[in-house]
Amino acid sequence: MSIVYRTLFGLLLGLLSMGAMAHEMRPAIATIQLEADGVFELTLETNLEAWMADVNPTLSDTDDSPNVDAYDRLRALSAETLAAEFAPQFSAFARAVDIRSDGQRIRLTTIGLDVLPEADPELPRDTQIRLVGALPDGAQTLSYATGDALPDTAVRVYLGEAEPSVQYVRHGQTSDPFVLREGVTRSVTAIVWEYIELGFTHIVPKGLDHIVFILGLTLISKRLIDLVIQVTAFTVAHSVTLAMGLYGVLTLPASIVEPLIAASIVFIAFENCLQTQVKRSRTVIVFAFGLLHGLGFASVLTELGLPARDFVVGLLAFNLGVELGQLFIIALAYFAVGIWVLQAPWYRTRVAMPVSVLIGGLGLYWLVERLGWIG
Alpha-carbon distance 119 to 117, whole Å? Answer: 6
Q: Examine the pLDDT at 20 and tell me if it is beyond 70.
A: no
- pTM of the complete model beyond 0.85: no
Alpha-carbon distance 235 to 290, whole Å? Answer: 7
Q: Are 232 and 225 in contact (CB under 8 A)?
A: no
Instruction: Tell me the torsion sign for CA atoms 228, 330, 21, 47.
Output: negative
Q: Are 99 and 80 in contact (CB under 8 A)?
A: no
> What are the boundaries of each domain within the chain?
28-185, 197-370
Alpha-carbon distance 215 to 15, whole Å? Answer: 11
User: Which has more confidence, 358 or 166?
Assistant: 358
Tens of pLDDT, residue by residue over 177-203, are: 998 865 445 678 878 888 898 889 888
- pLDDT at position 186, please? 60
Residue 255 CA, chain-centre distance (Å), reads: 16
Residue 118: other Cβ atoms inside 10 A: 13
- pLDDT at position 1, please? 43
Quick one: average pLDDT of 135-139? 88
Quick one: average pLDDT of 330-350? 79
| E strands, the chain, in order | 28-34, 39-46, 98-101, 104-105, 109-115, 127-134, 141-145, 153-159, 165-169, 178-179
Alpha-carbon distance 15 to 20, whole Å? Answer: 9
- 108 closest CA partner among 142, 131, 127, 83: 131
Burial (CB count <10 Å: 0-12, 13-18, 19+), residue 273: middle
Tens of pLDDT, residue by residue over 92-102, are: 999 999 999 99
Alpha-carbon distance 61 to 56, whole Å? Answer: 9
Tens of pLDDT, residue by residue over 246-293, are: 777 888 887 888 889 999 999 999 999 998 888 888 899 999 999 988
User: Which has more confidence, 101 or 226?
Assistant: 101
- pLDDT at position 13, please? 44
Of all residues in the chain, the percent with pLDDT exceeding 70 is: 88
Q: Examine the pLDDT at 160 and tell me if it is beyond 80.
A: no
339 band by pLDDT with thresholds 50, 70 and 90: low
